[in-house]
Amino acid sequence: MKNRFKAVQIRKDGDKQTVEDVELTPSDLMAGDVTVQVSHSTVNYKDGLVLTGRSPVVRKFPMIAGIDLAGTVEESSNPEFKPGDKVILNGFGLSETHYGGYAELARVRGEWLVPLPKEFTPAEAMAIGTAGYTAMLSVLALEDAHVTPAKGAIVVTGAAGGVGSVAVSLLAKLGYRVIASTGRTAESGYLKDLGAAEIIPRAELAGEPRMLGKERWAGGIDSVGSKTLANVLASTSYGGAVAACGLAGGLDLPTSVAPFILRGISLLGIDSVQMPRPRRVQAWNRLARDLDVKALAAMTRTIPLSGVRQAAEDILAGKVRGRLVVEI
């Protein structure tokens, strides 16, 4: 094990948050029964909020950022894992209350880890990351709600982002007709290459919501929230369902009970952070089966650890298409 390792650490002095490149020792790590040599991480929208301090995500300082990691077990007192095992970790308080993945070493609880599916390299797993894993959780929720391809189209909001890109690709491969909503119409070709059948501008769903609109889709995956989610709900057909997994547009939901009691639709809340391990394993196994790795490569760009701060600004500004892999 390395005597010293590099990390990106967040500190807070009063109201001022700073992000620093630091060197730490293994003794600086937090408690856990598995130590992982981290090879890759990623930049999700939540990572952007953490690194910029624009939302109070971090609850303990100093904190190593990065809500995802992939790597190789170096030491373990957990019977489920041994040195040399390839593992991934999404959420469970990383970069909120527990040191995260923007470091060469991480010490975590074994029950948080998922074995890396043999179909993926660590880099590919982080190209998926929390965003892609959340997209898969959303697809599973729609399936559990019996929203099948035969029921009609699925709308995906924020389609050119991380969750949206993976959701479009997954849904298309599973046989759904995908309507992709994006504020970046220049990305229409990219979204159609991922499998979108129709592109609609973000503005179409960003206006003042109506209680009910024309029935346009059987379900949706929404990473935006606020008025966008309200408009998606208003245009969901009878018996449909919408998976809500993000808040890029706001935490509010200006809607009414009309879609729920007049059309019998369901709003499915998707939490990726504390999701129980069996569902995580199910999601990763389905990703291994259903995600086109060529499509994944087409939506992915790799950056060094030194690039995460600029990437955080870019992802919050809506400048990042698809997924970013951080090579640790």
Residue 76: pLDDT over 90: yes
> 208 phi and psi, to 5 degrees?
-60, 125
Q: What is the pLDDT of residue 264?
A: 98
Alpha-carbon span 282 to 148, nearest angstrom = 19
Alpha-carbon span 28 to 57, nearest angstrom = 22
**Between 185 and 164, the higher pLDDT residue:** 164
Q: What is the pLDDT confidence band of residue 243, given thresholds at 50, 70 and 90? A: very high
User: Number of H helices and number of E strands within the chain?
Assistant: 10, 16
Residue 184: pLDDT over 90: no
Tokens of 221: 């995956």
Q: Which of 166, 134, 141 is CA-nearest to residue 321?
A: 166
**How do 68-76 and 105-108 pair as beta strands?**
unpaired
How many whole angstroms from its chain centre is CA 34?
Answer: 24
Angle at 286 between CA 281 and CA 292, to 5 degrees: 135
Mean pLDDT of 139-145: 98
Angle at 290 between CA 304 and CA 247, to 5 degrees: 60
287-296 pLDDT per residue, tens: 999 999 999 9
Mean pLDDT of 114-132: 97
Q: What is the pLDDT of residue 185?
A: 84
Alpha-carbon span 244 to 154, nearest angstrom = 13
Residue 25 DSSP code:
-
205-227 pLDDT per residue, tens: 999 999 999 999 999 999 999 99
Which residue is listed with tokens 């995260």?
A: 100
Mean pLDDT of 8-30: 94
Alpha-carbon span 75 to 129, nearest angstrom = 23
Do you find a cis peptide bond into 56, omega within 30 degrees of 0?
no
Q: What is the pLDDT of residue 55?
A: 86
Q: What is the mean pLDDT of the chain?
A: 96
According to DSSP H, which parts of the chain are helical?
A: 45-52, 122-144, 162-173, 188-194, 203-206, 226-234, 258-262, 277-290, 293-298, 308-316
Q: What is the pLDDT confidence band of residue 178, given thresholds at 50, 70 and 90? A: very high
Q: What is the pLDDT of residue 14?
A: 85
Q: What share of the chain is helix, strand, coil (3-state, %, to 5)?
A: 35, 30, 35
List domains and CATH numbers for the chain: 5-116+297-327 (3.90.180.10), 131-269 (3.40.50.720)
Alpha-carbon span 32 to 18, nearest angstrom = 26
Return the C-alpha torsion angle 287, 118, 296, 114, nearest 10.
Answer: 60
**What single letter denotes the amino acid at residue 291?**
L
Q: Which of 57, 84, 65 is CA-nearest to residue 8?
A: 65
Q: Which of 227, 269, 221, 226 is CA-nearest to residue 251?
A: 226
246-276 pLDDT per residue, tens: 999 999 999 999 999 999 999 999 999 999 9
Q: What is the pLDDT confidence band of residue 283, given thresholds at 50, 70 and 90? A: very high
For the purposes of burial, counting CB atoms within 10 Å of the CB of 105, is it exposed (0-12), middle (13-18) or buried (19 or more)?
buried
Q: What is the pLDDT of residue 98?
A: 98
Q: What is the pLDDT of residue 2?
A: 76
Alpha-carbon span 314 to 301, nearest angstrom = 13
Q: Which of 106, 114, 38, 119 is CA-nearest to residue 81?
A: 114
Q: Does residue 127 contact residue 296 with C-beta atoms inside 8 Å? A: yes
Tokens of 201: 């501008």
Alpha-carbon span 94 to 91, nearest angstrom = 5
